[in-house]
Amino acid sequence: MSEADLKHKIKSYYTESVKEEWRRLAKGPISRLEFETTIRFLNEYLPKSGSILDAGSGPGRYAFTLAKKCYKLTLFDFTPANLDFARRKIKRDNMQDRIIGTVEGTLDDLSAFESNSFDAVICLGGPLSHVMSEKKRRKAAKELIRVAKHGAPIFVSVMNKMSAMMGFVRLFQKELAAQYFEGYLKNGDYPGGYGFTAYHGFQPEELRGLFAKAGTKIVLTAALEGFGSYSEKDLKKLYRNKKRWKIWVRAHNSTVTHPSSVGISQHILLICRKP
């Protein structure tokens, strides 16, 4: 499938799933791990106030959360339906002075924004994984860095190639015989079509290398779901027992940057800083 066809496929998927995307991070324990672990690191590494570009914002779950604090958000996404949803919500919640822009465009071209203009840049929940050519991923990384001010933190979370191996055993055994599987093992490219759309699965070192080579200082990589990855059913059971869930979350938090946990986590979060 050509790059343009893949892009069209990804955009169509997100056009059809705006409400689902809005609900995604508040849906169940596995998504809560993704969301709450990300928020923990945002709280820790964001400046106290300032402007934030949310690149690949979707309908804006992170943007609305941060806009309620002391930040001014600009949303950026290539799916117009997501931005329309956000615009309606901004109006309804009277957040025009906090969410100051909703811009349509693609991650590898942030020419709508000037260089060195944001106090922080976030690109969360996998938008960079949906950039299917390596060359464009390099361009996108450079663009995310270009628009950040010197010293600003950049937060990027992506889908993890190796983590999906657990998914193949636990949930997607039928796909082992699918045509794409050998290719996925080699290059991490999933063409979509089995309940999710096309994405590139990253290795942690690949993600770190991409942003280090583009000139940032790597702060850390973290496991957003960690050892709970691809265990939704078990996590739901654990979540029903509040005492055990609390202990599990504490264990997750204490292992969140360990290479073993990062290596198998469904989503990996990278934090880096523009020099």
Q: Does 224 bind ligand SAM (CB under 6 A)?
A: no
- Cβ-in-10-Å burial (0-12, 13-18, 19+) of 111 comes to exposed
Considering the complex, state which of residue 19 and residue 250 has its C-beta at the smaller distance from ligand SAM: 19
Among 51, 79, 102, 266, binds ligand SAM (CB under 6 A): 79
Considering the complex, state which of residue 62 and residue 118 has its C-beta at the smaller distance from ligand SAM: 62
Q: Does 192 bind ligand SAM (CB under 6 A)?
A: no
Among 31, 74, 102, 106, binds ligand SAM (CB under 6 A): 106
Q: Does 191 bind ligand SAM (CB under 6 A)?
A: no
Q: Does 74 bind ligand SAM (CB under 6 A)?
A: no
Residue 29 corresponds to which tokens in the numbers above?
A: 């324990």
Residue 174 corresponds to which tokens in the numbers above?
A: 């039928």
Residue 272 corresponds to which tokens in the numbers above?
A: 């880096």
Contact region with ligand SAM (CB under 6 A), list: 121-129, 167-175, 184-192, 218-226: 121-129
How many residues touch ligand SAM (CB under 6 A)?
21
Q: Does 25 bind ligand SAM (CB under 6 A)?
A: yes
Nearest to 56 by CA among 113, 111, 106, 127: 127
Among 30, 51, 61, 272, binds ligand SAM (CB under 6 A): 61
Among 64, 78, 85, 113, binds ligand SAM (CB under 6 A): 78
* CA–CA gap between residue 184 and residue 168 (Å, rounded): 11
Q: Which residue is nearest to ligand SAM (CB)?
A: 125
Residue 177 Cβ, how far from ligand SAM at the closest point, in Å?
27
Contact region with ligand SAM (CB under 6 A), list: 73-81, 84-92, 175-183, 248-256: 73-81
Q: Does 10 bind ligand SAM (CB under 6 A)?
A: yes
Contact region with ligand SAM (CB under 6 A), list: 120-128, 201-209, 220-228, 264-272: 120-128
Among 130, 137, 208, 274, binds ligand SAM (CB under 6 A): 130
Considering the complex, state which of residue 109 and residue 234 has its C-beta at the smaller distance from ligand SAM: 109
Which residues lie below 8 Å from residue 77, measured CB to CB, with a gap of 6+?
Answer: 55, 56, 57, 58, 83, 104, 127
Residue 86 Cβ, how far from ligand SAM at the closest point, in Å?
10
Interaction site with ligand SAM (CB under 6 A):
10, 14, 21, 25, 56-58, 61-62, 77-79, 82, 106-107, 124-127, 130-131
